Chains A and B, each alone.
Chain A
């Protein structure tokens, strides 16, 4: 027992969390006592004796869990414990519950954890749809309802879509570029462990007096600055999720820039790598803004500052500017990795090089640059400087151009290909093209100010975000999980169940989110627990399809769990793909490569006899046939 407490791990983590919480708690009440204040401040925007432990306890846990052991020893000049890599890899399920520095273990931890949050966020959505199935009040009170949609959005955005992409890329990307691991494995592990902490804080807000945070995921001031105590959980939780996201992005940037295998120049990088490079550029630049905005709200609430207190000179609209300066790029943070996944899948399953590869990569960079200039299109009716609206409208509409390039290039990739549709991954990638086009078109409509004035803050917005985030991001997430499932587990999933999941998801998505456009345009505002009875029929229709959509996800979970355990062996390269991760075993060896591969060509050289992307260790140059340069131009 004593040894268990000294070793980094769950025991020491639990003790660390308790000590951290106690430190924060006594720091606050001690300082308050010293200053002659009431020991406990229990106004709804106060509770410093709980807010501060909410910050210190996670750090205590991380210290105890071993996240900082190596760094602290090194910083203190003590001999570091030589890393014998015994913690690398996972041989039993318990290994996934350790502070593991192997990118493949971390990738799996990420994907599994985020899918759990997907389940929780989905259940919250179904509770909302149950409430909205008919006009009037059904199962929850209005302020509980506000808490439901706020936590639904926050969990789906910060704990599912953003990190699941980081998880998939964590697993696949180092393999793809021929690297033995990520650049900073310990930072990588820390990034992962910050996530469940954020999740626990968000969900714990339901226990707070006054209920969970209920000012929407946007948390507009001054509604948020005066909201019940649960709002502080949001302010603090976002810091942990944001820090996780920033650390991962830094890690990807350094990994991609410095650790590519010899021969992999920028124009030989798979588009998934390009996509994660672009996403990371957005995360490191934009995420600090949401962290800042939430700190300002927290300071207004707990420290009595007045960033957004309008009666004391605070500026209400500035919150929205800071918030959206992150949260619009965040939309692309949630989409660009999906673009990368779709490019990989479509090229592989159409047996054809990605059409216009360089323009595809440049379009990603174009979206990165433009997405920093469009934040205020969320504020066309917010009463901001009116002159800012037209320039922001133009940049917003322009972003449709690189996005269009991507759609057309995927279609171009299909032309003259040999299209295989047996894989559920390919089905999701193809369906993504159609649903995302709808989301893109409604996005252009929302960019046009006169139309936006009418539909802003209505169900049309709800329809649009779900077409881009569910029909867009989540479809690509499913595609990615199905595509790399054989690589990650070494086993094949059941395509029949995959098809049931696919068709159920497509029908559920369209049935749920298409009518939302209609009722929104007709006048139903968003974020309402109750609505005019004229919208009752459509809402019932939407709720029915939402439950179909929810139910069919159980097929997905069943398929994943059972196939992971009992699925047939998948083989190293079931899709006959060219990129490097498919040239190693499934699952890959603990250190990825015995010898770093050499990259000798583009990643999608389908149809060119003898063309190779990479030469793996162990192969000699003599075995490699000289590629015949063939030039074929499209008709």
Chain B
């Protein structure tokens, strides 16, 4: 029995894994970034790409090596070596993936806590969704109402309270990297700190009916002063019907929280600030 050329295999894996990860790190996969959460998530993607590249390279190198080295010669009808296993090797290839995924899990947990941390000076914006339109309420600015256009101040955290009037929708601005479903009957929240001024699109990502692919809204991130001016210029108030629904939703949410023994859920803690005129 010939010994395996371990060094060659490891080097080939290392070389092709490095090449693959370098190639895969060149494109900006997630697109432009425009929130404080984005760099952290993008870094996490890069880390995952590098680890994945080496694993994929390892599998391919091993497969290619086996196919080149042990592909049968024509006419050879004999069998391979009767190797049934190797306990040490099996322990190794159980433990290494275990450590990798646990590491990735802990890393994800840390990042998750980080991007969901709430700031003290965060403002609240209500996001109402129905087939197939987005509308926005600004409870801290006299419950002003905007249809199809959302403005938020730059460099200040906004907690979006997500409401749905009919079916489930989902709130996603790709440049912010944050997504959360608008669920009828409860209020969910999405926490974002935009850090770039500009125009973006709010995309509905939960199938909501025939108009799903057209359910978009414009998002404008601007300076605090511009934002204040824009909100002031809005001349409509959130319609009674929406507030009623939102309040009902809050009531249900409160009951649910009381039932769950105060587990910090997806819901609203600052209930008092919601929908105040």
Q: Which A positions have Cβ atoms within 8 angstroms of B?
A: 141-143, 146, 214-216, 220, 222-223, 226, 310-311, 313-317, 350-353, 355-359, 381-387, 389-390, 393-394, 397-398, 400-401, 404-405, 407-409, 411-412, 414-421, 430, 433-434, 437-438, 441, 444-445, 448-451, 453-454, 456-458, 518, 521-523, 525-531, 576, 605-608, 611, 630, 632-635
Q: Whole-angstrom distance between the alpha carbons of A453 and B263 in the complex? A: 22
> What residues of A have a CB within 8 angstroms of the CB of B4 in the complex?
415, 635
Question: Do the beta carbons of A416 and B80 come within 8 Å of each other?
Answer: yes
Question: Do the beta carbons of B90 and A453 come within 8 Å of each other?
Answer: no
- Which residue from chain A places its CB closest to the CB of B42 in the assembled complex? A454
> What residues of B have a CB within 8 angstroms of the CB of A531 in the complex?
213
Interface string of B202-228 (1 = CB under 8 A from A): 011111111111100000000000000
23 contacts between A and B (CB under 8 A): A141-B210, A142-B214, A143-B210, A226-B167, A381-B170, A383-B186, A416-B70, A416-B81, A416-B83, A418-B76, A418-B78, A418-B79, A441-B56, A448-B44, A449-B108, A450-B108, A450-B177, A451-B41, A454-B177, A525-B204, A528-B212, A605-B82, A635-B2
Question: Do the beta carbons of B83 and A385 come within 8 Å of each other?
Answer: no
Question: Do the beta carbons of A434 and B67 come within 8 Å of each other?
Answer: no
Q: Whole-angstrom distance between the alpha carbons of A387 and B260 in the complex? A: 12
Known A416-B70, A441-B55, A451-B48: A222·B166 in contact at CB below 8 Å: yes
Question: Do the beta carbons of B104 and A142 come within 8 Å of each other?
Answer: no
Identify which of B82, B90, B105, B209 contacts A632 (C-beta below 8 A).
B82
Known A385-B263, A438-B56: A457·B108 in contact at CB below 8 Å: no
- Which residue from chain B places its CB closest to the CB of A453 in the assembled complex? B179
> What residues of B have a CB within 8 angstroms of the CB of A390 in the complex?
109, 112
Question: Do the beta carbons of B1 and A635 come within 8 Å of each other?
Answer: yes
Question: Do the beta carbons of B82 and A630 come within 8 Å of each other?
Answer: yes
Interface string of B12-26 (1 = CB under 8 A from A): 000000000000000
> What residues of B have a CB within 8 angstroms of the CB of A518 in the complex?
27, 29
Question: Do the beta carbons of B80 and A606 come within 8 Å of each other?
Answer: yes
Known A400-B101, A450-B115: A316·B82 in contact at CB below 8 Å: no
Identify which of B44, B63, B89, B170 contacts A450 (C-beta below 8 A).
B44
> What residues of B have a CB within 8 angstroms of the CB of A441 in the complex?
52, 55-56
B91-99, B134-142, B148-156, B235-243: which one contacts chain A?
Answer: B91-99
Known A352-B81, A522-B29: A382·B72 in contact at CB below 8 Å: no
Interface string of B57-68 (1 = CB under 8 A from A): 001101100110
Chain B, range 143-198, C-beta contacts under 8 Å to A: 162, 166-168, 170, 172, 174, 177-181, 183-186, 188
Q: Whole-angstrom distance between the alpha carbons of A458 and B70 in the complex? A: 42
Interface string of B243-272 (1 = CB under 8 A from A): 000001000100000001001111000000
> What residues of A have a CB within 8 angstroms of the CB of B263 in the complex?
385, 387
**Residues of B in contact, count (CB < 8 Å):** 89
Question: Do the beta carbons of A412 and B266 come within 8 Å of each other?
Answer: no
Q: Whole-angstrom distance between the alpha carbons of A420 and B211 in the complex? A: 53
> What residues of A have a CB within 8 angstroms of the CB of B229 in the complex?
none
Which of A352, A448, A449 has most B Cβ within 10 Å?
A448
Question: Do the beta carbons of B82 and A352 come within 8 Å of each other?
Answer: yes
- Known contacts A220-B207, A397-B102, A530-B214, then 16 further A-B pairs from the complex at CB < 8 Å, ordered by chain A residue: A142-B213, A146-B207, A146-B209, A222-B167, A311-B248, A359-B90, A384-B266, A415-B83, A418-B80, A419-B72, A441-B52, A441-B56, A448-B104, A449-B112, A453-B177, A522-B29
Question: Do the beta carbons of B179 and A416 come within 8 Å of each other?
Answer: no
Identify which of B79, B179, B181 contacts A607 (C-beta below 8 A).
B79
Question: Do the beta carbons of A310 and B185 come within 8 Å of each other?
Answer: yes
Question: Do the beta carbons of B85 and A351 come within 8 Å of each other?
Answer: no
> What residues of B have a CB within 8 angstroms of the CB of A398 in the complex?
98, 101
Q: Whole-angstrom distance between the alpha carbons of A445 and B53 in the complex? A: 12
Q: Whole-angstrom distance between the alpha carbons of A576 and B30 in the complex? A: 50
Question: Do the beta carbons of B83 and A633 come within 8 Å of each other?
Answer: yes
A215 to chain B, nearest CB (A): 7
Q: Whole-angstrom distance between the alpha carbons of A473 and B264 in the complex? A: 39
Question: Do the beta carbons of B109 and A393 come within 8 Å of each other?
Answer: yes
Question: Do the beta carbons of A525 and B205 come within 8 Å of each other?
Answer: yes
- Which residue from chain B places its CB closest to the CB of A389 in the assembled complex? B112
Q: Whole-angstrom distance between the alpha carbons of A222 and B165 in the complex? A: 11
Question: Do the beta carbons of B84 and A522 come within 8 Å of each other?
Answer: no
10 nearest A-B pairs in the assembled complex, by CB-CB distance: A310-B185, A528-B213, A383-B188, A417-B80, A352-B80, A143-B210, A607-B82, A523-B174, A607-B79, A414-B66
> What residues of A have a CB within 8 angstroms of the CB of B104 in the complex?
397, 444, 448
Identify which of A394, A408, A418, A454 contacts B30 (C-beta below 8 A).
A454
B175 to chain A, nearest CB (A): 8
B258 to chain A, nearest CB (A): 14
Question: Do the beta carbons of A215 and B207 come within 8 Å of each other?
Answer: yes
